């Protein structure tokens, strides 16, 4: 059966749907003692919600292995009508990514991009470029790439793919093209040192290398000249813009900053204050166990 082609059939008075596509699991929600509700980013059909029956009950279930990490999966879903939730009928690992689960910082970075997609993309709104960028980002993490460096770049790319973006051509206050020293998350535009100086505590700092990185959004990125400090500033800009779009801070931001704060050379990105409930909710919703450092199916009961 060709991938990515939905099959529609008629059963009595209802029209059923069967879907074949490649996907990335972005959220797992416990539904019962044996089942999960999955949010999956598919390549041709955008974000889809599927019911995965029986995957929690049997530890040897092949579908559970395919759904337990950051693999690209070949999936098949079926619904009795066009308005009913799809039921996952098959899930095989199409492209495996095992090493991310054993690299805590890479794992936390992958969780951030999962939450961004889960909260900021509409259901059934296809964007092949978003799927490809996300897959490529996970490949870089799998190969041992710098999580902060690549996450800071991929967030900027995702912001543009979602239709937002930012303006760096001139100061939002006076229009001047030089001495750009701050970034306004509210306006998503650069601010010069003269206009932004009195409001520095409410703006994010900009440097020349960060401006260069924000202008260079090709993927995969050329990050050779972006320092750890610059990557940290770019991450702060991207995550704050996304939090504003989402209507509140991202739950996975705190755990990622906490993980980065333990790494030498990243002292510019200190952990933010968060409660134990915030941490557990973030890890539980998106699959990461704060105790085991792995994917957990038993976190939400």
**Is 59 within a domain?**
yes
Euclidean distance between CA atoms 181 and 135, whole angstroms: 33
pLDDT at 83: 79
- Secondary structure of residue 209 in the 3-state scheme: helix
**Is 291 within a domain?**
no
220 and 206: one domain? Answer: yes
In this model, does residue 3 exceed pLDDT 80? no
**Is 68 within a domain?**
yes
Question: What residues contact 299, with CB distance under 8 A and at least 6 apart?
Answer: 30, 280, 283, 284, 287, 289
- Secondary structure of residue 122 in the 3-state scheme: coil
pLDDT at 42: 96
In this model, does residue 263 exceed pLDDT 90? no
**Is 298 within a domain?**
no
In this model, does residue 229 exceed pLDDT 50? yes
pLDDT tens digits along 153-178: 999 999 999 998 888 989 999 998 88
pLDDT tens digits along 130-144: 999 999 999 999 999
Show the DSSP H helices in the chain as ranges.
62-67, 104-120, 128-142, 147-161, 193-196, 208-215, 228-246, 253-261, 276-286
- Nearest residue to 106 (alpha-carbon basis) of 158, 153, 70: 70
Do residues 78 and 17 touch, judged by C-beta distance below 8 A? yes
pLDDT at 14: 58
17-21, 136-140, 232-236, 287-291, range with the lowest pLDDT: 287-291
90 and 130: one domain? Answer: no
Average pLDDT over residues 63-87: 87
**Is 299 within a domain?**
no
116 and 187: one domain? Answer: yes
Could you say which of 84, 99, 114 is where a domain stops?
99
In this model, does residue 24 exceed pLDDT 90? yes
Instruction: Specify the DSSP class assigned to residue 49.
Output: E
Euclidean distance between CA atoms 112 and 118, whole angstroms: 10
Q: Domain of 150?
A: 105-286
pLDDT at 278: 43
**Is 146 within a domain?**
yes
Confidence of residue 112 (pLDDT cuts 50, 70, 90): very high
Could you say which of 99, 133, 161 is where a domain stops?
99
130 and 62: one domain? Answer: no
Euclidean distance between CA atoms 71 and 58, whole angstroms: 20
pLDDT at 84: 84
44 and 172: one domain? Answer: no
DSSP H or E stretch at residue 177? none
Most confident of 88-92, 137-141, 219-223, 282-286: 137-141
Q: Is the entire prediction scored with pTM above 0.75?
A: yes
User: Which value, in Å, is the radius of gyration of the alpha carbons in the chain?
Assistant: 21
Euclidean distance between CA atoms 109 and 247, whole angstroms: 21
- Nearest residue to 146 (alpha-carbon basis) of 203, 227, 65: 227
Do residues 257 and 282 touch, judged by C-beta distance below 8 A? no
In this model, does residue 34 exceed pLDDT 90? no
Could you say which of 51, 80, 99 is where a domain stops?
99
81 and 182: one domain? Answer: no
- The token duo for 14 is 């209802």
174 and 82: one domain? Answer: no
Confidence of residue 217 (pLDDT cuts 50, 70, 90): confident
**Is 297 within a domain?**
no
pLDDT at 240: 94
**Is 148 within a domain?**
yes
Percent of the chain with pLDDT over 90: 59
137 and 242: one domain? Answer: yes
130 and 271: one domain? Answer: yes
Instruction: Specify the DSSP class assigned to residue 248.
Output: S
- Looking at every residue in the chain, the average pLDDT score rounds to 82
- The CATH code of the domain that includes 172 is 1.20.1440.120
Q: What share of the chain is helix, strand, coil (3-state, %, to 5)?
A: 40, 25, 40
pLDDT at 61: 56
Q: Considering its fold, how many domains does the chain have in total?
A: 2
Question: What residues contact 165, with CB distance under 8 A and at least 6 apart?
Answer: 159, 188
Biggest CA–CA distance in the chain, Å, is 70
In this model, does residue 267 exceed pLDDT 90? no
Q: How many CB atoms within 10 Å of residue 197?
A: 12
42 and 125: one domain? Answer: no
Where on the phi/psi map is residue 204: left (φ > 0), alpha (ψ -120 to 50), or beta?
beta
Where on the phi/psi map is residue 222: left (φ > 0), alpha (ψ -120 to 50), or beta?
beta
- The CATH code of the domain that includes 15 is 2.40.50.140
167 and 282: one domain? Answer: yes
In this model, does residue 250 exceed pLDDT 50? yes
């Amino acid at each position: 059966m060709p991938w990515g082609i939905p099959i529609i059939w008629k059963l009595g008075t209802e029209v059923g749907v069967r879907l074949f596509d490649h996907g990335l699991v972005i959220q797992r929600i416990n539904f019962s003692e044996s089942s999960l509700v999955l949010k999956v980013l598919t390549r041709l059909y955008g974000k889809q919600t599927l019911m995965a029956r029986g995957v929690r009950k049997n530890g040897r279930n092949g579908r559970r292995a395919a759904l337990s990490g950051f693999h690209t999966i070949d999936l098949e879903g079926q619904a009795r009508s066009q308005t009913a939730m799809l039921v996952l009928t098959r899930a095989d690992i199409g492209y495996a990514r095992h090493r991310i689960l054993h690299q805590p910082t890479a794992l936390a970075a992958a969780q951030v991009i999962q939450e961004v997609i889960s909260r900021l993309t509409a259901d059934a709104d296809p964007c092949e470029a978003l799927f490809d960028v996300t897959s490529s980002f996970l490949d870089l993490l799998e190969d041992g790439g710098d999580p902060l460096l690549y996450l800071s770049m991929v967030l900027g790319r995702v912001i543009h793919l979602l239709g937002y973006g930012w303006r760096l051509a001139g100061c939002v206050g006076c229009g001047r093209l030089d001495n750009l020293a701050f970034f306004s998350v509210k306006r998503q535009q650069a601010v010069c040192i003269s206009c932004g100086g009195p409001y520095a505590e409410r703006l994010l700092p900009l440097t020349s290398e960060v401006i260069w990185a924000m202008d260079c959004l090709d993927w995969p990125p050329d990050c050779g000249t972006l320092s750890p400090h610059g990557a940290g500033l770019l991450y702060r800009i991207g995550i704050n813009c996304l939090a504003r779009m989402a209507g509140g801070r991202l739950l996975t931001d705190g755990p990622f900053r906490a993980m980065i704060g333990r790494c030498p050379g990243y002292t510019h990105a200190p952990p933010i204050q968060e409660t134990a409930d915030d941490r557990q909710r973030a890890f539980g919703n998106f699959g990461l166990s704060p105790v085991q450092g792995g994917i957990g199916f038993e976190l939400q009961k």
